Amino acid sequence: MKNLEQMLDLLEQKRLFFLHYEREMEDLPLLPSEEMEACLERGANLIKRIEELDGRLGQLIQQEGPMARSAVNHECDRSQLTPDLGRLYDASMSVKAVANRILRNDELIRQRIAFEREQALDKIKELNSRSDSVAGKYQKYTQTGSRPLPGWQGKEI
């Protein structure tokens, strides 16, 4: 295999980026809400780098043929592979192990984001329903069916 070392290097870089992403995201459910956006942006940047590595790795695998693709995707019996393909299989498996751990933490992250969204919606509803807000006054007038006097402009008359 002429691209073996390059593919192994790309897989190792990918594993390291996944480890960095895992460390970044594991604290997200516990972060204060004002720090969540920056954390998610850092995570998105790491995912972008991983996708770039995947693109380069995919090109090299395509050059190597179907056996390399089977080894990287774990679509074959490890014991039936040549030593080079076995190294590729193992390197890819180590990337997959980190990715699986990330997926387990993903549900906590989704729950936290949903909680923050609900909190924000509740605050917006509260602000809009206050009787001293323009929206609150409009809501009060539409519910009672009465109209404000001309020149009202949001002030109590």
Q: Where are the domains of the chain?
A: 4-109
pLDDT tens, N- to C-terminus, the chain (157 residues):
799 999 999 999 999 999 999 999 888 888 888 898 899 899 999 999 999 999 999 999 999 999 999 999 999 999 999 999 999 999 999 999 999 999 888 888 888 888 888 988 888 887 776 656 666 666 666 776 666 555 655 555 4
Model-wide pTM > 0.75: no
Q: Treating both helix axes as pointing N-terminal to C-terminal, what angle do 83-129 and 134-144 enclose, rounded to 10 degrees? A: 70
Enumerate residues 6+ apart whose C-beta is below 8 A from 133: 127
